[in-house]
Structure 1
Amino acid sequence: MDILYWIIVAAMFVIAFAGLVFPIIPSVVFIIAGFVLYGFFFTFAHYSYMFWIVEGIFTAALFAADYVANLLGVKRFGGSRAAVWGSTAGLLIGPFVIPVAGIILGPFIGALLGEMLVHKKDIKTALKIGAGSLIGFLTGALAKSVIQLIMIGYFLYTVLH
């Protein structure tokens, strides 16, 4: 049964990484679910207060990384809050409208439309801001993947030592 339990815990972590590509999947929920399932399947004895504090800090960092990377990507290329909101909407809607490419095109198109519709920017400027949004999204996904790896690594260190 131990192998089955570890497979279930690992599946939670794999689903969390899928959340980097499909933002509708709440990555942090699946990482924490992996921790809790390990506790139910094996023991919660490995988890100290420090474990939960460290993981809580990383959880906050996951939320911040997504928002900050998108904001900086848009702002660096001259975008406004309309572009940030458009990018966020495109990130959530894009994968459903355009199944595979929507994860990349959604934030780009959302930022572009946000700038063109709200601030009446010309197409060249809006394209530049859309590119900034895409760069921000990709940077955020990279930062979140590193944070998730650290969270899982700290979990494994905690339970295996």
Structure 2
Amino acid sequence: MNLDLLLVLLGFICVIVGVFGSFLPVLPGLSSCWVGLLLLYLTKAVENNYWILGITFVLMVTITILDYVIPSKGTKKFGGSSYGVWGTNIGLIVGILVPIPFGIIIGPFVGALVGELLYDSQNHKRALKAATGSVLGFLASSFVNFFFSVIYLGIFLTILWQNRQLIF
């Protein structure tokens, strides 16, 4: 019984870390949520449901791949280069670490803008447009990750609630 409680606790921590990781790139996102679900299913109290684990795994892999594609597509759609994509990622990390309001949004924008200006310092309008596309791509990707992380949290809590008498 103690092992089940430990697995539930570790699974819950993984899911919570995953929800925060859906918009904070220094933490694992949806993959952490999936590991939390897996840990819940590893308890003796919860009967294995390979459909839920399989579907959530496929969704996690697909969304993780899209997480890398969406920001770069946003940058490229708005005329950006790989410098803008790298600038977005670096700006995001700086925006998280530097205590400024809305750093998680301002950082990627400034990073993409600086990256694009390093790529082509003469075309400010293109750099601004690419930086906007990069931030829009990042926000779209973060929203999708957050949305599915909250769904995984809901699945975790529902399964936990349904099996509460066997676990606790």
TM-score class, shorter: 0.7 to 0.9
Q: Deviations over 1:41-85 (max 9, x none)?
A: 44463232x333212211112212322220222122111121112
**Partner of 1:84 in structure 2?**
85
Indicate yes or no: 2:132 matched with 1:116: no
Relative to the length of structure 2, the TM-score reads 0.75
Larger radius of gyration: 2
Contact 2:18 2:28 in 1 (8 A): yes
1:93 aligns with 2:70: no
Pairing 1:1-161 to 2, within 5 Å after superposition: 9-43=11-45, 45-48=47-50, 50-98=51-99, 100-154=101-155, 160=162
In percent, how many aligned pairs have the same letter?
30
Aligned residues: 160
The CA RMSD measured in Å over matched residues stands at: 3.0
Matched to 1:15, the amino acid is V
In structure 2, distance between residues paired with 1:15 and 1:121 = 42
TM-score, normalised relative to structure 1: 0.78
Cα deviation digits, residues 116-135 of structure 1 (max 9, x gap): 11233432321221111111
Letter in 2 for 1:19: G
- C-alpha spacing 1:99/1:15, structure 2 compared with 1 (3 Å): farther
Question: d(CA) in 1 for partners of 2:110 and 2:80?
Answer: 13
Cα 1:29/1:144, change in 2 over 3 Å: closer
Taking the aligned partners of 1:121 and 1:153, their CA distance within structure 2 comes to 49
Gaps of 5+ in 2: 164-168
